[in-house]
Amino acid sequence: MKLMIAIVRDVDEERIIDRLVTHGHRVTRVASTGGFLRRGNATLLIGLEEEQIDAALELLRGTCSGADPKVHCATVFVVDAPYFEQI
């Protein structure tokens, strides 16, 4: 099991969450702020199997908006999650 942590712009969060859920991913949203201008962000926690990582990354790439290629639309970390339980 892997945990994908995606920090996305708040203007993109609804669209990204909708696409991820539509494609069968479970997402937890955490409000966050950061960056130089303290713009609004959302941190998305996404539990994935290793074979789902590439598809989720493609969804993020295809959904994040950004007219300026110098501006990052998301920061993504993928870490091991050796234990997972829903209670």
Strands of 2-9's sheet, edge to edge? 27-34, 39-48, 2-9, 74-80
Q: Is the pTM of this model over 0.85?
A: yes
Q: Tell which CATH classification among 3.30.70.120, 2.30.38.10, 2.60.40.10, 3.40.50.970 matches the domain 2-80.
A: 3.30.70.120
In this prediction, residue 75 has a pLDDT band, given cuts at 50, 70 and 90, of: very high
pLDDT tens digits for range 21-69: 999 999 999 988 776 556 778 999 999 999 999 999 999 999 987 666 6
Q: What residue segments make up the domains of the chain, in order of their start? A: 2-80
Nearest residue to 74 (alpha-carbon basis) of 50, 53, 55, 57: 57
Contact 78, 50 (CB under 8 A): no
Residues contacting 31, CB < 8 A, separation 6+: 40, 41, 42, 43
